Amino acid sequence: MRTGDTFLHTTPLDPLARPLLVDLEREYDERYRELFSGGAAAEMNRYPAEIFSPPHGTFLLLLRAGEPISGGALMTVDEHTAEIKRIWTHPDHRGQGLAKLVLAELEAEAAKRGFADVVLSTGPRQPEAVGLYLATGYEPQFDPTLDPLVIGEHAFRKHLPAAG
């Protein structure tokens, strides 16, 4: 993070979240157009905003000069498990390790809320996301030697250290 960058825990309904959601939908359409039934908009609207809002979760933005440059979301799966969704970095800011910072902040939030485990998933056409999750200690719940398109959804799990 650069000096002056800040994290904002908010909701998907915050106007600052709009650029993240619009660009993520665009990217999903580019990568998965024919794989999403109903298109990326259906995928983006699969979850109501409330699950990414307190007390069930959070919507995280990394702001630079007040503008969102990266972000992600956290939702409750059960009393022991949280799920991380919607990791995104603005195309002009990729390659700076921002998604890793967002992921760490969401993990810290999950631990603070008392979750023992975090799950997340990505699609077969996001090798950079697979690399990030493997590099940050997530255990694949699939056979990584298989062709990504054969695997389909790439699910991961990570046990969190207790918040302290």
Q: Give the burial class of 2: count Cβ atoms within 10 A of its Cβ; 0-12 exposed, 13-18 middle, 19 or more buried.
A: exposed
The tokens describing 156, both together, are: 């991961």
- For the entire predicted model, the pTM comes to 0.90
Element (H, E) at 21: helix 18-32
Kindly report the CATH number that applies to the domain delimited by 6-159.
3.40.630.30
> Do residues 127 and 148 touch, judged by C-beta distance below 8 A?
yes
Helices 98-112 and 127-135: crossing angle in degrees, nearest 10, is 50
Please give the residue that has the higher pLDDT: either 26 or 41: 26
Closest Cα partner for 69 from 136, 30, 16?
16
Domain ranges, ordered by start, for the chain: 6-159
Q: Tell me: pLDDT of 130 over 80.
A: yes
Which of 73, 65, 61 lies closest to 19 in space, CA to CA?
A: 61
Q: Mean pLDDT, to the nearest integer, of 9-25?
A: 92
- Pick the range with the lowest mean pLDDT from 25-29, 35-39, 62-66, 117-121: 35-39
In this predicted structure, what is the pLDDT of residue 36? 61
Token output for 17: 């979240």
Rounded to whole angstroms, how far apart are CA atoms 164 and 161?
Answer: 9
pLDDT at 97: 95
pLDDT reported for residue 163: 64
Tens digit of each residue's pLDDT (9 = 90 or more) over 93-113: 999 999 999 999 999 999 999
